């Protein structure tokens, strides 16, 4: 696993004020691919909204392996903590624009952003169910359906994360992830338009795999 990048984020300037600033949002900041948004143990004094790109939330295990527990996509808010301290690392998956929301990341902020907090909780619960599946193909199918739904329910969508990221999220090796993708493509269930772009040809088959 490569070391976490430490490049400084870049503030994205706007030509006109954004109405969201009136609700405690700071100007968007650009984070380069692999750069750290916050570290485990950092003070959780703000939330973050993804404007573009993607963010992964992970923890390093005792043996040095990485366990990814969540991805956040454009329009989603992350950084919720119950005790004012971050318990995971957050990194930009690709070039990512983030808006920091002032006012803390604890109970008061969670109340103000209740919908986002509840969606994060539901996704975390669903992720536990996915990781608990015995079949690697079922995990990949559930992951693809989730990514499609969170990007507007389109049949063609982008996967900003790498195969390695997907493996660390689903508890699979990168070889297994690649093998399942190839199998789904050979069966005509999906079409790979590139390393990071997928078209679901048979969504009903994917859903059936998850039942």
Segment 38-48, tens digit of pLDDT:
999 999 989 99
On the question of pLDDT at 10 being above 90, the answer is: no
45 CB contacts (<8 Å, ≥6 apart)?
84, 104, 105
On the question of pLDDT at 18 being above 60, the answer is: no
Q: How many CB atoms lie within 10 A of CB 142?
A: 21
Delimiting residues of CATH 1.10.10.10 domain(s) in the chain: 132-210
Domain 132-210 in CATH 2.40.50.140: no
CB 105 within 8 A of CB 81: yes
pLDDT value for 25: 65
Delimiting residues of CATH 2.60.120.10 domain(s) in the chain: 10-115
CATH architecture of the domain formed by 10-115: Sandwich (2.60)
On the question of pLDDT at 20 being above 60, the answer is: no
Furthest-apart CA atoms within the chain: distance in Å: 51
Segment 84-136, tens digit of pLDDT:
899 999 999 999 999 998 755 555 555 667 777 778 877 887 887 778 767 89
pLDDT above 70 as % of the chain: 83
Closest C-alpha among 101, 69, 30 to residue 165:
69
Q: How confident is the model at residue 15 (pLDDT cuts 50, 70, 90)?
A: very low
Q: How confident is the model at residue 209 (pLDDT cuts 50, 70, 90)?
A: very high
Read off the pLDDT of each residue in 154-181 and give the average, rounded to a whole number: 94
Instruction: Note if the pTM is more than 0.95.
Output: no
């Amino acid at each position: 696993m490569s070391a976490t990048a430490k490049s400084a984020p870049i503030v994205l300037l706007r030509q006109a004020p954004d109405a969201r600033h009136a609700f405690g949002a700071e100007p968007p900041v650009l984070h380069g691919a692999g750069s750290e948004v916050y570290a485990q143990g950092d003070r959780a004094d703000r939330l973050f909204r993804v404007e573009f790109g993607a963010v992964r939330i992970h923890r390093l295990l005792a043996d040095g392996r990485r366990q990814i527990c969540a991805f956040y996509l454009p329009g989603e808010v992350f950084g919720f903590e119950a005790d004012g301290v971050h318990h995971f690392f957050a990194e930009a998956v690709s070039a990512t624009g983030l808006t920091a929301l002032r006012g803390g990341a604890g109970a008061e902020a969670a109340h103000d952003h209740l919908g986002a907090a509840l969606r994060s909780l539901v996704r975390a619960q669903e992720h536990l169910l996915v990781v608990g599946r015995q079949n690697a193909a079922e995990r990949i199918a559930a992951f693809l359906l989730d990514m499609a739904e969170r990007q507007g329910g389109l049949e063609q969508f982008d996967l900003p994360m790498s195969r390695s990221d997907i493996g660390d999220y689903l508890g699979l090796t990168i070889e297994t992830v690649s093998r399942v993708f190839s199998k789904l493509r050979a069966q005509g269930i999906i079409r790979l338009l590139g390393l990071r772009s997928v078209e679901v040809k048979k969504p009903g088959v994917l859903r059936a795999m998850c039942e």
